[in-house]
């Protein structure tokens, strides 16, 4: 049986769906006021791998990942740019979807927007008020009474006294307790008209935490089999979700809670607030002109070799571990992924599909069933690549490609893959001082390869060797195939 580390129990728990054979999974998605950074990429790819493996295991998955499209940060961006809220959110949702496609992240089964579920949120708030868990404050907000919910702190493992001792926010005098959080925010006169909804509490908008309680219940019901998100959501967001949902309905919100690890830059978490973040686009865009989203741009803005490298960089680390962003780590990921593609280039994979009785597939399955141990699964892929190389085994290459697909990897044509330049490779490959492969255009490479072919046919091997050396200095490797065909790739 599949085991998953449960943040709530602090143990690996067996996955036992509420409805046998079906998994209901909810993951907290993006607040769409800016471009996705690499920390977001880590979350998106991690849970994409989770849902892929659940489906590959024969489970019927209903995967919901929400969009927060009303929030203080979104309002600020709209005011700063003089645009309507919907214009801001539509632009960054489109950019997010383009980023996802570049990284091979499959679309969730449903992607609700918070603004579509305000009525559901008000329904939960009314229930909480009836149960004495919510109150109307003097400033017009509706707040949750944290001390009225006995289980508060069970996810994060923090007691209320510990939380008070570590309090970092200024005391809001409209709250009965500083730990109380807002469920409904009263509209401010200066805020745009499209940021307010009518309600029994007056015009206003929902607090952040209530959004996910409403959307998860509306689309999946209770309890969820899996609830996931980024590491910074464990507290207070997910803790508050539990208090809201379980307080209102007296049912468990989720049986298993999953949190991916942080993306670090040196010793700090990558985040917009720290100013140390790098966007997905800055990392995989073909050039600087594509580092920002342009409406109607299509999917030709990114470097396909580097985009898969970024996915590989994320997948090769366990989803719960801290992942350190550094140029050398990206270089290493690019080189490792290139090695797998070289095997597929050298040995054409068969199309027999995955043989699940083969020891390699069994080892892959054992790794993934153990808390989605993708690094262990990747180790199997490298063993298959070695077997394919040693024995020119089309079957091993086929297993390699088939199992790679379950991680969202190795589905490009190797010849096309190696024609993409890359900024991420070990330094010694460009220390020769020659023009880099990234600078040498495809047409120029093809011309030099053709000249070398002509030289070989004329038996001018000195000229042919000089052209090969020139291409190698530019980061281009040649592979002479039977029949006089030469295939090139960027190192």
CB 103 within 8 A of CB 41: yes
3-class secondary-structure state, position 290: helix
- Residue linked to tokens 């989720």: 254
**DSSP output for 205-233:** EE-HHHHHHHHHHHHH-SSEEEEEE-GGG
- Residue linked to tokens 């050298």: 346
Would you give the distance in Å from CA 476 to the centre of its chain? Answer: 32
Number of Cβ within a 10 Å radius of residue 19? 11
Task: Provide the β-strand partners of residue 481.
Answer: 485
**Residues 233, 42: Cα–Cα separation, whole Å:** 14
239 is in an annotated binding site: no
272 is in an annotated binding site: yes
Which long-range CB contacts under 8 A does 136-139 form with residues at least 24 apart? 136/201, 137/174, 137/175, 138/174, 139/174, 139/186
**Residues 142, 361: Cα–Cα separation, whole Å:** 54
CB 199 within 8 A of CB 218: no
241 is in an annotated binding site: yes
**Residues 287, 301: Cα–Cα separation, whole Å:** 8
CB 305 within 8 A of CB 422: yes
**Dihedral, CA atoms, 155, 157, 159, 162, nearest 10 degrees?**
-130
Burial of 151: CB neighbours in 10 Å, binned 0-12, 13-18, 19+: exposed
28 is in an annotated binding site: yes
CB 404 within 8 A of CB 36: no
**Residues 291, 305: Cα–Cα separation, whole Å:** 16
What pairing do the DSSP bridges indicate for beta strands 476-481 and 485-490?
A: antiparallel
Number of Cβ within a 10 Å radius of residue 202? 14
237 is in an annotated binding site: yes
In terms of Cα–Cα distance, which of 205, 146, 41, 219 is closest to 227?
A: 219
Report phi then psi at 325, rounded to 5: -80, 125
Annotated binding-site members for Zn(2+): 28, 212, 237, 241
Q: Which amino acids are annotated as binding site, given as ranges?
A: 28, 212, 237, 241, 272
Which amino acids are annotated as binding site for ATP, given as ranges?
Answer: 272
């Amino acid at each position: 049986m599949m085991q998953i580390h449960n943040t709530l129990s602090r143990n690996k728990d067996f996955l036992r769906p509420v409805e046998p054979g079906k998994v209901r999974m909810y993951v907290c998605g993006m607040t769409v006021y800016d471009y996705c950074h690499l920390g977001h990429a880590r979350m998106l790819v991690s849970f994409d791998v989770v849902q892929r493996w659940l489906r590959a295991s024969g489970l019927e998955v209903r995967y919901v990942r929400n969009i927060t499209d009303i929030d203080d940060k979104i309002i600020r961006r709209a005011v700063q740019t003089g645009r309507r809220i919907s214009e801001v959110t539509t632009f960054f949702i489109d950019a997010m979807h383009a980023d996802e496609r570049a990284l091979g992240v499959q679309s969730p089964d449903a992607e609700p927007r918070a603004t579509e579920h305000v009525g559901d949120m008000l329904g939960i708030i009314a229930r909480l008020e009836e149960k004495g868990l919510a109150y109307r404050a003097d400033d017009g907000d509706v707040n949750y009474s944290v001390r009225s919910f006995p289980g508060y702190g069970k996810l994060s493992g923090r007691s209320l006294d510990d939380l008070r001792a570590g309090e970092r926010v200024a005391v809001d005098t409209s709250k009965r307790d500083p730990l109380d959080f807002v469920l409904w925010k009263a509209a401010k006169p200066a805020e745009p008209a499209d940021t307010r909804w009518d309600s029994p509490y007056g015009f206003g908008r929902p607090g952040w935490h209530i959004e996910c309680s409403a959307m998860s219940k509306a689309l999946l019901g209770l309890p969820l089999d899996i609830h996931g998100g980024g590491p910074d959501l464990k507290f207070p967001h997910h803790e508050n979700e539990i208090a809201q949902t379980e307080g209102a309905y007296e049912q468990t919100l989720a049986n298993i809670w999953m949190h991916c690890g942080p993306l670090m830059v040196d010793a700090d978490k990558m985040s917009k607030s720290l100013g140390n973040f790098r966007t997905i686009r800055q990392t995989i865009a073909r050039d600087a002109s594509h580092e920002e989203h342009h409406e109607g741009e299509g999917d030709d803005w990114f470097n396909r070799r580097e985009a898969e490298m970024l996915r590989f960089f994320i997948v090769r680390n366990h989803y719960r571990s801290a992942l350190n962003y550094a140029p050398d780590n990206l270089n290493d990921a690019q080189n490792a992924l290139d090695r797998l593609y070289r095997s597929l280039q050298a040995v054409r994979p068969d199309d027999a599909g995955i043989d699940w009785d083969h020891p390699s597939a069994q080892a892959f399955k054992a790794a993934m069933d153990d808390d989605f141990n993708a690094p262990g699964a990747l180790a199997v892929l490298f063993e298959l690549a070695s077997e394919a190389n040693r024995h020119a085994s089309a079957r091993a290459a086929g297993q390699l490609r088939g199992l790679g697909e379950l991680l969202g990897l190795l589905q490009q044509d190797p010849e096309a893959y190696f024609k993409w330049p890359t900024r991420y490779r070990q330094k010694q490959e460009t220390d020769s001082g020659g023009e880099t492969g990234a600078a040498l255009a495809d047409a120029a490479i093809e011309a030099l390869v053709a000249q070398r072919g002509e030289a070989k046919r004329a038996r001018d091997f000195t000229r042919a060797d000089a052209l090969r050396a020139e291409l190698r200095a530019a980061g281009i490797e040649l592979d002479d195939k039977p029949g006089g065909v030469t295939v090139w790739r960027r190192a």
